[in-house]
Amino acid sequence: MRYAFRPCHPRDPRLLLAGCLAAFAAVGRADDVPSPALPAASTVVRPTEQSWPVYRGDAQARGVAAAKLPDKLEMLWKMAVPNGAFEATPVIDSGVAYVPDMDGKVYALNLATGKEVWNYKVDSGFIASPAIRGGLLYVGDIDGKFYAIDIKTGKPKWTFDAEAEIDSAPNFWKDNVLFGSQDAKLYCLNAATGQVVWKHAIEDQIRCSPTVIGDRTFVAGCDAKFHIIDLTEGKEVAAVPIEAPTGVTPAAIGDQVFFGTSAGTFFALNWKEAKISWKVEDKGASQEMRSAPAAQEGIVIVGSRNRAVIAYDPATGNELWTFTTKQRVDSSPVIVGNRVFAGAADGRLYALDLKTGEEKWQYQATGGFTGSPAVAGGKLVIATDRGVVYCFGAK
C-alpha cells in the first residue's frame, strides 16, 4: 500500500463543507487503564549521545545531533520490508530504533544488528514520525488514532481518537504529549493516561509537529498562519500571516523560528514579537517547501524541491552556500558536528561540510527519502519510500 503526500486541504470531503474546522467537537478518548506518572526527568526533550527522542531531535525541532559520527561512514545493516514504504523519521533510545511503516506496522529494531525486537500492526498506516519518552512510544496513524505503545511489550498502553488523519509527529511539554491533526486541532494529552488536558483549534489542518520552547508552542498551519500558543492554557497568544499554507515543522533558536511554505518562501519569525524578521524566495521556479530546517547559532539549513540544500545566515537571511542535488529534497537535514546530512528523492544520502556545503560523502539507497536521519549511538538511521531501513556507522 502506498500513500502520496497530500497538499494542505482536508482529506475528508465533509471537512470541506464545514469551512471552519474550529467548530467541530472532539470525540477522542483514552481507552485503557492509566499508567503511572512519567518521571520528572523525562520532561526534558533533547537528544543525547545515545538517543534521538523526537522527529527533529529536540523540543525546539532544531535537527542537531548530540552524538558523533565517524569520519568514514559505512552501511552496517539494512532491513527491507517487502512492498513496504516509509515516510517517517525513526527515533532511537537505549540501543533500539523505532520506525512506523506506511503499511501499518511499527518496527522496533536492534540498533547494533538491525534485528527485529518486535512489531505492532494496525489496520491503517503511518505517515507521522514517532516520539519516545518514559518507556512509551507515541505515534498517530492516517485514520486519526493516536497510540502510546509500551516499548517493552510492543502493545498499546492507551489510544486516543482524533477526528482526522495524523501527520504530525508528537512533542512533549511537562507531563504532556502534543500533536496536531488534519481535524485542525492541536491536542495536549496527559502522556501517562491519554486524558485530554486541552485542545486548540485553528482554521485548517495541522500537518507540522508542534515546536516547544519555554511555555510556548508553535504551529505553522495549512491556514497560512503561524500560531503561537500558550501551553499552560492552550490559548492562542498570536497568529502571524505567512502568505501560504505549510506543513513544515518550525525550528527555533533563541527568539527566532524558521520554516518554509507551499509558496516556496522561507521565513524567519520573531516569536516574542510575533512578527516576520526576514523572508526569502526559493531559487528557480516556485516550489513548495516540505523540508524542515536544521538550525543552530550562525546557520540554518533546509532542503529544496528545486534540487538543492541551502544554508542561510539566521540573522539576515543571506545565503551562505547552496549544494545542488539531482532530485528534490523533501527530507529534513540533520547537523552532526561539522557536517550536515540530507537525503534526496532519488535515494542519495549526502554528507556536506557545514561551513562550505562541499560534498564529503554520498550513498545511493534503494528508493527515495521523505523521512529524515536520526542520529544516536554513533549511528545514523534513515528509511526510504521503498521500504528499506538503513543504518550507517563504523564497522
Q: What is the DSSP letter of 169?
A: P
**d(C-alpha 282, C-alpha 27), whole Å:** 40
Is 153 in a helix, a strand, or coil?
Answer: coil
Contact by Cβ (8 Å): 343, 372 = yes
Measured torsion, CA atoms of residues 86, 45, 7, 120, in degrees rounded to the nearest 10? 40
Rounded distance between C-alpha atoms, residue 248 and residue 262, angstroms: 9
Q: Which pLDDT tens digit goes with each residue over 55-98?
A: 999 999 999 999 999 999 999 999 999 999 999 999 999 999 99
Helix, strand, or coil here: 188? strand
Domain 45-393 fold: Methylamine Dehydrogenase; Chain H (2.130.10)
What is the mean pLDDT for each group of 10 consecutive residues in the chain (395 residues)? 46 34 32 34 78 98 98 97 96 98 97 98 97 98 98 98 98 98 98 98 98 97 98 98 97 97 96 98 75 98 96 98 97 98 98 98 97 98 98 96
Conformation bin of residue 26: beta by default, left when phi > 0, alpha when psi is -120 to 50: beta
Nine-digit cell at 274?
510575533
C-alpha cell at 172: 512533549
Nearest to 120 by CA among 92, 99, 134: 99
Which pLDDT belongs to residue 15? 36
For the chain, domain boundaries: 45-393
Q: Is the pTM of this model over 0.95?
A: no
Contact 277, 256 (CB under 8 A): yes
Per-residue pLDDT reduced to its tens digit, 327-376: 999 999 999 999 999 999 999 999 999 999 999 999 999 999 999 999 99
